[in-house]
Structure 1
Amino acid sequence: MRIGDHVHGTVTGIQPYGAFVNLAENVQGLIHISECHYGFVKDIHEYLTVGDEIDVVVLDIDEFTGKISLSLRCLEEEQVSLQPVAPQGEVHHKHYWTNRNVHEGFAPIQKRRHAWEQEALNQFVKK
């Protein structure tokens, strides 16, 4: 068995965090609740029951422990991502990142440095 393989198995146990799947004799894997379905899964029992025969994808095989991570979600059609809803009214966002086409470097800091030094000296040096 390799990562990415599509395998067939039987659900042998369900816990709040995921479902155990028997893949072969003495080979068992786990479908984490987040890998059952796209989106939020409140109750894994809505998607799986003990005894279900299912096809899954091997996500990971831990070489040290022999644990196999499985996914049902990989076999589903990818869901369309929803765009965030904009708040009502005008909202102005400030953008603090620099423009990659403008190459100012440290020039703005260098221009202001003298004024900052004078301001600091005036605040901390006794007259």
Structure 2
Amino acid sequence: MAIEVGAKLEGKVTGITHFGAFVDLSGGVTGLVHISEIADNYVKDVKDHLKIDDVVKVKVINVDKDGKIGLSIKQAIDRPEGHQPPPPQRERTGAGGGPGGGERFNRGGQDRGGRPFNKQSAGRPSYGKPSFEDKMSRFLKDSEERISSLKKNTEGKRGGRGAKRV
């Protein structure tokens, strides 16, 4: 059986990796469903969506010259004309609603640096922990001290940029 791009087929999941799942189509022909082609929403772990021996409907999205077959589960789903999947939902937390209002998006309970944060205390000062403004003012103070120290050290030496000679 010739595999053509755009064909919708049924296959059996034969292997699961961290980057996708291998699907046996028929006659020993195997293709890969990349993790980004498993579902419309974000897939963190393939094992949350698929299991070995699951029968899935897939669409052939590409066939390489070397015989590799790219498959998609999310493109195999029949949708009405003009229907688009809803955008991923992100939970908003924090203070302020406008630009620069301290808005944060919940990414599984983590802030942008990957550190966990507490939804209940978001936007409120936490006593004992310095706020962003406190950290920023401390950084600026330290930075100015370091710059002035560097200037003092380079002015006394010859060859410093625009240094005064004594």
TM over 0.5: yes
Aligned length: 89
Matched, 1:79 2:85: yes
2:69 aligns with 68
**What residue in structure 1 maps to residue 7 of structure 2?**
5
Contact 2:41–2:88 (CA under 8 A) maintained in structure 1: no
Q: What is the TM-score when the length of structure 2 is the normalising length?
A: 0.48
The one-letter code sitting in structure 2 at the alignment partner of 1:12 is T
Q: Could you tell me which residue of structure 1 aligns to residue 23 of structure 2? A: 21
Task: Give the whole-Å Cα distance in 2 for the aligned partners of 1:6 and 1:35.
Answer: 14
Computed over aligned residues only, the root mean square deviation of the Cα atoms, in angstroms, reads 2.3
Distance 2:38 2:61 in 1: 12
- After superposition, residues 12-51 of structure 1 pair within 5 angstroms as 12-51=14-53
Separation in 2, partners of 1:36, 1:46 = 11
Q: Give me the whole-angstrom Cα distance separating, in 2, the residues matched to 1:90 and 1:68.
A: 45
Q: Percent identity?
A: 37
> Which sections of structure 2, spanning at least 5 residues, go unmatched?
101-166
Task: Give the TM-score of the pair, scaled to structure 1.
Answer: 0.62
User: Take 1:32 and 1:71, find their aligned partners in 2: how far apart are those partners?
Assistant: 7
| CA contact 2:42–2:88 (8 Å) conserved in 1 | no
> For residue 114 of structure 1, what is the aligned residue in structure 2?
none
Give the distance between the partners of 1:73 and 1:5, measured in 2 at CA. Answer: 14
Q: Which of 69, 88, 92 matches 2:97? A: 88
CA distance in 1, matches of 2:89, 2:45: 26
Higher relative contact order (CA 8 A, sep 6+): 1
Rate the CA distance shift 1:75–1:90 in 2: closer, same or farther, 3 A. Answer: same
Cα distance in 1 for partners of 2:16, 2:76 equals 20
Q: How many Å apart are 1:82 and its aligned residue?
A: 6.3
**Displacement, 1:40?**
1.2
CA distance in 2, matches of 1:48, 1:13: 10
Quote the Cα distance in structure 1 between the aligned partners of 2:16 and 2:10.
Answer: 17
